[in-house]
Amino acid sequence: MSDFGLRLENHYAQLPDDFYTSMPAEKVGAAPRLIHANPKAAALLDLDPHVFNDPRFVEVVSGHRPLESFSPLAMVYSGHQFGVWAGQLGDGRALLIGQARNAAGELWDIQLKGAGKTPYSRFADGRAVMRSTIREYLCSEAMAALGIPTSRALAIVATGETVMREAPEPGAVLTRLAQSHIRFGHFEHFFHRGQKDQVRVLADHVIAEYFPDMIGEHAAWYGEVVRRTAVMVAQWQAVGFAHGVMNTDNMSILGLTIDYGPYGFLDAYDPQFICNHTDTQGRYSFINQPVIAHWNLRALAMALSDLIPTETLIEKLATFEAHFGGTYHTLMREKLGLTREVEGDNKLIGGLLALMARTRADYTLSFRNLTGEDAAWLALFGEANAEAQGWLSRYRVRTQSENLSGLNRINPKYVLRNWVAETAIRDVEDKNDVATLGRIFKLMQSPFATHDGDDAFAAPPPPNMCDLEVSCSS
Ligand code: AMP
Ligand code: MG
């Protein structure tokens, strides 16, 4: 069947030429090998997972065979990196190889990451390493299962090539999906070049496909981007996720979590947690994420300033705080099972977070273990047993008339801790063994369930894996 039955539309290519470069993939590596593929992501494309066994599938997801009815392209965008205008960036190692319309009417980008150089590669090699590919593959699926808007991952291919980073590493290609990979940086690109018309063309393109209720309503649309971004970051904060590189070129116009690099889930709760070793100033520390999201939305507002009156932009941007605060507050209440608003609730929530921060209690387990034996929860607070006991007693009194039976569907048992991802990576890289990857992948796709025999992967890092460093190098 041609193109595996995908219903492809050359949608992005309807934009003017200066939005992208049409080009085939480089055909990286002589004999690409499929490492893992994701039936849930295939379902988003109405793709039968049996195609994973078709030799043409690995050819397509490695960039060795183009889909017949789509012309691959690399997008151009710009952005602010670490608060500084970086000028032109673009898909330096990503290539859009398809846009598929599913039966529900949704359009999904199919993008390869690591399939070779493009005109936007600048000084870099267009490659991706296995380590970062596995990290993005697992984390995007973990986030989706946690109910957080995100790009998805369809497949990992080993290219067989060796790629140079700090050390030589095995190369890989990730196939990722998102309804769109358009970033704040796309808009900044044309604004900073003085191409006002192109900003409008792009906004209208995005609205027509992804915000069809808002055609012609640029201000309302910007307000919706503010809302989605605020909600997404509130979800990050509630689950304990740090993105690591919130540059404007990594911010999705649809409010999706995209471009997984040196991200980290909190182990021990530290509000100042910096997951990205390269981020020496802590600009993208855990606690800073809402402020940075707001900063990025302001940069987007600037880029839209020829389209929307300044006062309106300011007004819409000002809704960020209410959307963020409201969502975060609701989520934290849900995590503790507090349905009725009672005086003293905020103090109860704040008291727990303060105790967790001071004792460096495990973030995920501090919520998850509330449903188990008291002793298992108290053990998370080490020396501060008396204080923890005090808080727990107040909590038990407060929740006497609450129904806590649903808490295990709100507080995950499994998040993608760095050490867990690293375990999968080492088995693939050192032993050519994909079993652990598959096992962890399953845990991430149902993070609220208890999985017999896999309790170890719900635990904080073992002593020998406490100091893993992740950086921008990928
Ligand atoms: P990131 O911070 O990973 O989102 O990447 C920032 C910019 O650098 C984007 O334009 C990427 O396409 C580009 N880039 C990152 N790594 C590579 C690479 N190995 N080869 C080519 N371009 C890259
Ligand atoms: Mg990026």
* Domain-embedded: residue 177: yes
Q: Quick check: 336 and 394 in contact, CB under 8 A?
A: no
Q: Quick check: 234 and 334 in contact, CB under 8 A?
A: no
Catalytic annotation, pick one of 91, 249, 259, 362: 249
* Domain-embedded: residue 363: yes
Who contacts 400 (Cβ-Cβ below 8 Å, separation ≥6)? none
Domain extent for 105: 8-181
Distance in Å, CA 250 to ligand 2 centroid: 5
* Domain-embedded: residue 297: no
Report pLDDT for 360: 97
Q: What does the block give as tokens for 358? A: 């001071």
Residue with tokens 């934290």: 332
Question: Is residue 249 among the annotated active site residues?
Answer: yes
Instruction: Identify the helix (H) or strand (E) that includes residue 34.
Output: strand 33-37
Task: Give the residue, by CA position, lying nearest to ligand 1 atom 11.
Answer: 92
Q: Quick check: 127 and 171 in contact, CB under 8 A?
A: yes
Task: Give the residue, by CA position, lying nearest to ligand 1 atom 8.
Answer: 92
Name 252's bridge partners.
Answer: 183
Distance in Å, CA 210 to ligand 1 centroid: 26
Q: Quick check: 274 and 284 in contact, CB under 8 A?
A: yes
Q: What is the rounded distance in angstroms from the CA atom of residue 79 to the CA atom of residue 92? A: 13
Q: What does the block give as tokens for 441? A: 């992948």
Distance in Å, CA 278 to ligand 1 centroid: 15
Q: How far is CA 314 from CA 102, 124, 302, 319, in A?
A: 37, 38, 10, 9
Q: What is the rounded distance in angstroms from the CA atom of residue 268 to the CA atom of residue 272? A: 11
Mutational test site, ligand 1, from 20, 93, 125, max ligand atoms within 8 Å of CB: 93
Report pLDDT for 468: 86
Neighbours of 213 (CB within 10 A): 9
Q: Quick check: 222 and 316 in contact, CB under 8 A?
A: yes
Domain end, chosen from 388, 409, 430, is at 409
* Count of structural domains within the chain: 2
Report pLDDT for 2: 80
Ligand 1 pocket, residue 164 CB under 6 Å: no
Report pLDDT for 207: 98
Q: What is the rounded distance in angstroms from the CA atom of residue 439 to the CA atom of residue 452? A: 12
Domain end, chosen from 181, 205, 223, is at 181
Domain end, chosen from 160, 181, 202, is at 181
State pLDDT tens for residues 50-66.
999 999 999 999 999 99
Residue with tokens 């789509």: 70
End-to-end CA distance of the chain: 35
Neighbours of 67 (CB within 10 A): 18
Counting from 1 in the atom list of ligand 1, the atom nearest the Cα of 90 is 10
Report pLDDT for 20: 98
* Domain-embedded: residue 459: no
Ligand 1 pocket, residue 89 CB under 6 Å: yes
* Domain-embedded: residue 168: yes
Q: In 301-340, which positions are buried (b, 16+ CB within 10 angstroms) versus exposed (e)?
A: bebbeebbeeebbeebbeebeebbeebbbebbbebbbbee
* Domain-embedded: residue 74: yes
Alpha-carbon torsion angle 373, 377, 378, 380, nearest 10: 150
Distance in Å, CA 249 to ligand 2 centroid: 6
Alpha-carbon torsion angle 101, 107, 112, 117, nearest 10: 110
Question: Max alpha carbon distance in the chain (Å)?
Answer: 67
Ligand 1 pocket, residue 244 CB under 6 Å: no
Who contacts 279 (Cβ-Cβ below 8 Å, separation ≥6)? 82, 244, 245, 262, 285
* Domain-embedded: residue 165: yes
Report pLDDT for 1: 55
Q: Which amino acid is it at 58?
A: V
Residues of the chain where predicted confidence (pLDDT) is lower than 70: 1
Ligand 1 pocket, residue 121 CB under 6 Å: yes
- Count of alpha carbons within 13 angstroms of residue 361, beta-carbon side: 27
Q: What is the rounded distance in angstroms from the CA atom of residue 125 to the CA atom of residue 183? A: 22
Instruction: Identify the helix (H) or strand (E) that includes residue 302.
Output: helix 289-303
